[in-house]
Amino acid sequence: MTSAARTEPSGTEPSGTVRDPLRDADALRDADALRDADPLRDLVEAMDVLRSPGGCPWDAEQTHESLVRYLLEETYELVETIETGDRAGLREELGDVLFQVVFHARIAAEDHGDPFTLDDVAADLVAKLHRRHPHVFGDDEYVDAAHLTTRWDQIKQQEKARASVLDGIPLDQGALSRAQKVVSRAQRAGLPDDGAADGGAAKAPGPVGLTSEEVGAELLAVVRRAQAADVDAEGALRAALRTLESEIRDVERHAGP
């Protein structure tokens, strides 16, 4: 038999490399493991171990309250990766924020009075997404972004039985972001947002077309003036915000149901 007519022996690759049946079996098992992998469930189980006897003493003694500072820190770090375009950092910080969610859910599951689990949190979230997107999961029709925002406000007000457009804005939120939230809600509801109640008619909007750089520069200029005048800028904004919120609520009360 000539060399051209030879056939490869059984168990040999065409290249001449001998196949290893045991290695092939390992590869199949690895493929099955990858297909059956559930990293989120693994994360929950790892958290259970950390909180259980024989786990991590530090993790075991944490409470919702003690973890607040870490939740804020991880959130700020996540925001930084987004704003700086750090792709690798984004993946890592998303994991750190996710860990905080799992951590708080695990602590909640230990509450003897009103326990709930991460599955409960996820189920509530899915239900909320369905309620707040009737144009996707229901019979509502999508009109435009403005109509969608108004519809969201209506749905949230029904869900929370809110008496004011300002209800639900966290009091502990930073003064600047809180101010923007208050002004945004007031404008959408047609309420005064300029600090002078006028029967419910909002003033004409200010200059349009400002870039984020220009707004940032103006904000920094205000901070510099506050610093030069020895004024706490954060406190001053909070005080002005309290006045504005009071005026908005007065208008709502006089407008009636």
What's the CATH number where 85 sits?
1.10.287.1080
Domain span including residue 74: 37-117
Evaluate whether residue 94 is within a structural domain: yes
* CA distances to 170, 172, 229, 255 from 232, in Å: 21, 17, 9, 35
pLDDT band at 198 (very low <50, low <70, confident <90, very high): very low
Evaluate whether residue 236 is within a structural domain: no
Q: How many domains does the chain have?
A: 1
* CA distances to 40, 43, 92, 105, 117 from 37, in Å: 9, 11, 20, 22, 21
Evaluate whether residue 66 is within a structural domain: yes
pLDDT band at 8 (very low <50, low <70, confident <90, very high): very low
Q: What is the pLDDT of residues 101-156, one digit of tens each?
A: 999 999 999 999 999 999 999 999 999 999 989 989 988 888 888 888 878 777 87
Evaluate whether residue 168 is within a structural domain: no
Evaluate whether residue 247 is within a structural domain: no
pTM of the model: 0.65
Evaluate whether residue 52 is within a structural domain: yes
Across residues 29-45, what is the average pLDDT? Answer: 79
pLDDT band at 169 (very low <50, low <70, confident <90, very high): confident
The per-residue pLDDT of the chain, averaged, comes to 83
Evaluate whether residue 254 is within a structural domain: no
Q: 175: burial class by Cβ within 10 Å (0-12, 13-18, 19+)?
A: middle
Nearest to 51 by CA among 39, 63, 41, 40: 63
Evaluate whether residue 185 is within a structural domain: no
